[in-house]
Amino acid sequence: MFRTIIAGIGKYVPENIVTNSDLQKYMDTSDEWIQERTGIKERRYADRTSETTTTMGVEAARIAIERAGTTPQDIDFIIFATLSPDYYFPGCGVLTQRALKMKEIGALDVRNQCSGFVYALSVGDQYIRSGMYKNILVIGSDKHSFGLDFSTRGRNVSVIFGDGAGAVVLQPAEDDTRGILSTHLHCDGESAELLAMYNPGTHANHWLDQQLADFDNAEIGEMFMSHAMIDKAQNFPFMDGPSVFKKAVVKIPETVMEALDTNSLRPSDIDMLIPHQANLRISQFVQQKLGLGDDQVYNNIQRYGNTTSASIPIALCEAWEQGKVKERDLVCLASFGSGFTWGSALLRW
Ligand code: UT7
């Protein structure tokens, strides 16, 4: 069995910076509220006409591929994590294959929201370990700005999210002292509707009973996305923020400890923890619970907001570019998000 190394890493964030004050033009919010509750000062929004989830992912991928000393033609599998695909189908993986003029390789799309990158990394790790593939491109990319409710009704969600992408190239390690040590994935589907975008969707189920009345009045073609659904803002993400927060501050430390225990290591052994960037207060809770110092945790939510599947690879890329992640460092990635899903990956860089 081979261990898997991250041979190259890249990130892409759009040029357009949107400050908290900019958002005040659309909704009743304030810089003070957003910074105090989330730590966010600004986020990036993709260009409306030229940038998509795929184009951002491709830009991050180009950098990762070059840094890995490879070319797009060397890649033999793509894993693309996103909650905001360019199309309902097909997924962003095949669009990446086309954009980078890659061989007719396999492309897999992962739908695990904020945990998407950790899930995708875990899948890629298994393929490398088994010897099936030698160069896997893993991308996390999300374009939130196209689909947020910018009225006051949606302010608890809309101020948090930003656009961006991160990518890595996975390869087999030359020796087994470096690379991904273990990955750990979890979900709790009981909470699926607490952080979700309900429509467009094919559901017609128990929890939306009240909506059946709308279906009765809808034309057949409208059932997938009716005017009533739009009136109820069901085409925008919904989040029960406090419930998500409470679960995240329990599950993230739990899955970090799970990764450490599996490898007979302790929190003090961590050189850098890269938590999913959902809320600076969540990261601070996690840091405190694990007894980590400021130099053991990397946060950049202040500048990018929550970029869901892109948040961990963007933060990891920045930490590496700044020399805060060095060869042989013990790095832990930990995520929590919609599903609920959560997970961790422990690696020797
Ligand atoms: O990445 C996926 C995982 N996501 C997360 O981990 C997010 C977890 N949750 C959170 O980060 C926090 O719950 C939020 C940042 C979303 C919200 O912060 P909170 O401290 O939990 O606020 P809240 O939702 O309990 O709302 C408190 C008050 C409410 O007003 P009232 O009812 O007390 O008068 C909200 O209407 O804050 C109000 N509020 C706002 N005020 C100004 C909510 N959003 C805003 C806003 N600006 N943007």
Asked if residue 97 and residue 211 are part of one domain, the reply reads no
CA–centroid distance, residue 305 to ligand 1 (Å): 14
User: Other CB atoms closer than 10 Å to residue 284's CB: what's the count?
Assistant: 16
pTM over 0.85: yes
| Residue 296 pLDDT greater than 80, yes or no | yes
Asked if residue 204 and residue 148 are part of one domain, the reply reads no
The atom of ligand 1 lying closest to the CA of 155 is 48
- Does ligand 1 come within 6 angstroms of the Cβ of 241? yes
Number of domains in the chain: 2
Q: Any catalytic annotation for residue 306?
A: yes
Asked if residue 210 and residue 119 are part of one domain, the reply reads no
Please name every residue paired with 139 in a beta bridge, in sequence order, or none if there are none: 80, 167
Range of the domain at 210: 198-235
CA–centroid distance, residue 30 to ligand 1 (Å): 12
Residue whose Cα lies nearest atom 16 of ligand 1: it is 241
Q: Are 82 and 92 in contact (CB under 8 A)?
A: yes
156, 240, 282, 340, best to mutate for ligand 1 pocket (most atoms within 8 Å of CB):
156
CA–centroid distance, residue 155 to ligand 1 (Å): 8
**Tokens for 94?**
């095949």
Give the residue-averaged pLDDT of 3-20.
98
**Tokens for 204?**
């017609």
Asked if residue 209 and residue 106 are part of one domain, the reply reads no
pLDDT digit string (tens) for 51-67?
A: 999 999 999 999 999 99
Please name every residue paired with 336 in a beta bridge, in sequence order, or none if there are none: 342
The atom of ligand 1 lying closest to the CA of 281 is 11
Asked if residue 206 and residue 99 are part of one domain, the reply reads no
**Tokens for 123?**
């899948």
37, 84, 188, best to mutate for ligand 1 pocket (most atoms within 8 Å of CB):
37
- Does ligand 1 come within 6 angstroms of the Cβ of 2? no
- Does ligand 1 come within 6 angstroms of the Cβ of 301? no
Q: With respect to residue 86, please indicate whether it lies within any of the assigned structural domains.
A: yes
pLDDT digit string (tens) for 217-242?
A: 555 455 566 677 777 777 889 999 99
Give the residue-averaged pLDDT of 241-249.
97
Q: Are 14 and 144 in contact (CB under 8 A)?
A: no
Asked if residue 221 and residue 104 are part of one domain, the reply reads no
Asked if residue 210 and residue 102 are part of one domain, the reply reads no
- Does ligand 1 come within 6 angstroms of the Cβ of 312? no
Q: With respect to residue 245, please indicate whether it lies within any of the assigned structural domains.
A: no
Asked if residue 222 and residue 134 are part of one domain, the reply reads no
The residue type of 204 is A
Classify residue 9 as exposed, middle or buried by CB count within 10 Å of its CB (0-12, 13-18, 19+).
buried
CA–centroid distance, residue 241 to ligand 1 (Å): 6
Q: Are 147 and 237 in contact (CB under 8 A)?
A: yes
pLDDT score at 224: 60
Give the residue-averaged pLDDT of 192-211.
72
Q: Are 344 and 119 in contact (CB under 8 A)?
A: no
CATH number of the CATH domain containing 76: 3.40.47.10
pLDDT score at 20: 98
pLDDT digit string (tens) for 93-123?
A: 999 999 999 999 999 999 999 999 999 999 9
Q: With respect to residue 304, please indicate whether it lies within any of the assigned structural domains.
A: no
Q: Spot the catalytic one: 112, 199, 299, 306.
A: 306
Asked if residue 120 and residue 22 are part of one domain, the reply reads yes
